[in-house]
Amino acid sequence: MAVSCKKTIKQDTVEQEDTYVADNYTKQEVDIEMRDGVTLHTTIYAPKDVSKEYPILMQRTPYSSRPYGEGNFRKQIGPNIHLMKEGNIIVYQDVRGRWLSEGHYENMRAYIPNKTSNEHVDESSDTYDTIEWLVNNVENNNGKVGVWGISYPGYYATYATIDAHPALKASSPQACIGDFFFDDFHHNGAYLLSYFRVTSLFGTPRPNNDQPIDTAWYSFPDIQTEDQYQFFLDAGPLKNLNSFFEYETVDTPTMRPEGVTDDYFWNELKEHPNYDELWQSRGLIQHLDKSKSHVATMIVGGWFDAEDLYGPLETYKNIEKNKESYNTMVFGPWDHGRWARRNGRSLVGNYYFGDSISEFYQEKIETKFFNHFLKGDGDKNSGLPEAYVFDSGRKEWKEYDSWPPKGLEKQAMFLSENQELTSEQNDVSGIKFISDVKKPVPYSEDIKSVLTPRKYMTDDQRFAARRSDVLVFETDVMEEDLTLAGDILAKLKVATTGTASDWIVKIIDVHPANTETNEEMQDHLKMSNYHLMIRSEVLRGRFRNSFSNPEPFTPNKKTDVTIKLQDVFHTIKKGHKLQVQVQSTWFPLIDLNPQTYVENIFKADETDFKTQTHTVFTDSSIEFSVLK
């Protein structure tokens, strides 16, 4: 009897939660006209309690404001459950050219700084025009607007701060894309082959001459295997993947120019391998000096976000240049967007960081931020620190009045013989390894095919450390805690028998043998001696001096390759070891470098791919930012 009662209570709770939005909000769908006459489809959820005024919280998205139809409600609205239940006007909008909005979609639409006519539109003007309509037409709004979004919607939240509407008081770009040459699809010039399958999401033309549509018009390539490593190895050069983006529909021609596919994003990727005008014009980072100081910003990111780590860090740092702005950052032990969920135990992949970390963020940080600027005084005394950051080694939150925090010291460690990571440079010698294009280093030991990679960011790196084409350098057991806070600079001195190569550096926290294994760990792994990757990065060697003007290596010539690794906040605790791994392949996270120089790797032939011998010299160093 008691058991059935508990089940009933649980069922009632779930049912009540499912209908909360419909019970407490009205829903309206409108098409808002922009200055050039194009209409954007917008969904407005307004509290049924009309006895008071509410701020407007808006998300602009390329991923749809569904469910469509005024009788169909989302199960949850707003940034989190607290902001939903205490009452806000929540707005979702399909951006220009997506779903039920008119116009043509441009992937990372370029900002137009000097608009001289109503035909000059971008995401800034679309946001401005939308806010103008909302504050003048939505009943019971208090004249204050906030925007938020994760990933691509986070990019639109950043965009909203540029030439911002006066009513926009708060923006929280979260896991926000900053520049597609350094986020998501590229890392320092290397193409992230692991994002291959999501290309169609951004590059498939809408049918019927780009007319609005309420159902998905794109599909993800089916590689027909659960072994992505073998699939991409067998596929060979990138140009062999073109067939996945030749869409035979009534709206696409069957006769194409040679080498051109129907997917316009795939065409951009393969025709623009360098950081040229296309990518430069679409980057948002360089325009953030135009963000308006009347908009408070809170940048949110995850230390283990495989997709967008560059974006939120650079967004924060560049808005910070505007000294008049209220600008803060929150970084926790999350992968992509995990802070918006309520999972109780907080993990990334196998690695456990603690309990209710996302729940704490939603209640004590995010809700507090929006309420202060949209319902409260809105002054700079929000009660939140400049930097709310989680030390992923100590597993605890810290508050700082700047990021990076004050008191940092640069500390160099050298890649020495005998697999040692030393504080002093020893005699200079070269450590050689063979980079076999037929047996590239996998980025994960898992046999899997994923839409986007995430788990690898905290994966145990023992599988890689035991390969002959991965160089390992390690300290002795730490006698005291070492806190890394800020960026890491790998200053490699290398050579290759070829004319092209990639360079990957991984920073690893080696746990003691007596570390207890958490319950979520994969069965074949143990936390004993776990090699936790805390930061990693690749540089396509041709871009070592310029991302716009690539150049080959001179065979066997000692060459400087410097790689900036994104910020980290992690304590290597007493009893642990600090390890560095260096390798030249990372497959299929990134595409395979032919290791002979070609102008465009997307057009390389099978015969261009050659096994080469690489050398890392022992005057190479890793410069850490250490918090004393």
Within-domain flag for 14 = no
510 assigned to some structural domain = yes
Predicted local confidence at residue 14, as pLDDT: 43
Domain-embedded: residue 7 = no
Specify the pLDDT at position 67. Answer: 98
Token couple for 71: 């009788």
Per-residue pLDDT for 334 more than 80? yes
Query: 585 falls in which pLDDT band (50, 70, 90)?
Result: very high
One domain, residues 124 and 244: no
Identify the H or E element spanning 412: strand 408-416
From 280, 297, 317, give the residue that closes a domain: 280
Same domain, 48 and 171: yes
Token pair in block for residue 286? 């360089």
Whether 451 maps to a domain, the answer reads yes
CB 333 within 8 A of CB 302: yes
The per-residue pLDDT for 70 is: 86
Is position 4 within any domain? no
For residue 541, give Cα distances in angstroms to 187, 552, 554, 596: 12, 8, 12, 11
Helix H or strand E segment including 155? helix 152-159
Distance from the Cα of residue 278 to its chain's centroid: 20
* The pLDDT value given to residue 256: 58
What whole-number distance in Å separates Cα of residue 451 and Cα of residue 197?
6
Instruction: Give percent above pLDDT 70 in the chain.
Output: 95
Q: How many CB atoms lie within 10 A of CB 326?
A: 24
292/289 Cα distance (integer angstroms): 8
CATH label of the domain that carries residue 511: 2.60.120.260
Residues 344 and 462 in one domain: no
285: Cβ contacts below 8 Å, ≥ 6 apart: 178, 179, 314, 315, 318
Measured CA distances, 425 to 156, 487, 622 (Å)? 47, 21, 11
| pLDDT at residue 290 in the model | 86
Same domain, 161 and 172: yes
Note the pLDDT of residue 8: 36
Sign of CA dihedral 544, 545, 547, 552: negative
Q: List pLDDT tens digits, range 338-383.
A: 999 999 999 999 999 999 999 999 999 999 999 999 999 999 999 9
Shared domain for 331 and 393, answered yes or no, is: yes
- For the cut 80, the answer to whether the pLDDT of residue 80 exceeds it is yes
CA distance 147 to 173: 8
Contact 305, 335 (CB under 8 A): yes
Quick one: average pLDDT of 143-164? 98
> In this structure, what token pair is assigned to residue 229?
């490593």
Domain count along the chain? 3
Are residues 234 and 304 both part of a single domain?
no
pLDDT at 17: 58
Q: Identify whether residues 234 and 128 lie together within a single domain.
A: no
Stretch 380-398: mean pLDDT, rounded? 97
CA–CA separation, 462 and 472 (whole Å): 10
Task: Supply the range of the domain harboring residue 224.
Answer: 186-280
Q: What DSSP designation does 102 have? A: -
Residue 264 belongs to domain with CATH number: 1.10.3020
CA-based radius of gyration for the chain: 25
| In a shared domain, residues 452 and 562 | yes
User: Residue 94 CA to chain centroid, in angstroms?
Assistant: 21
Q: Are 165 and 128 in contact (CB under 8 A)?
A: yes
What is the reported pLDDT for 257?
64
**Is 126 a domain residue?**
yes
| Mean model confidence pLDDT for the chain | 95
Q: State whether 394 and 376 are in the same domain.
A: yes
* Cβ neighbours around 355 below 10 Å, total: 11
* Residue 163 lies inside a defined structural domain of this protein: yes
Are 265 and 334 part of one and the same domain?
no
- What pLDDT is recorded for position 215? 96
Same domain, yes or no: 113 and 166: yes
- Confidence check: pLDDT of 13 > 90: no
Give residue 259's pLDDT: 66
Task: Output the six-digit token pair for 579.
Answer: 């390890």
Question: Is the pLDDT assigned to residue 481 strictly greater than 90?
Answer: yes
* Final residue belonging to a domain, choices 229, 245, 280: 280
Q: Which CATH number covers residue 68? A: 3.40.50.1820
Query: Which of 219, 254, 280 represents a domain boundary (last residue)?
Result: 280
User: Do 416 and 396 share a domain, yes or no?
Assistant: no
Rounded to an integer, the average pLDDT of 433-462 is: 97
pLDDT digits (tens, 9 = 90+) for 224-265: 999 999 999 999 999 999 999 988 654 555 545 666 789 999
Residue 39 within a domain: yes
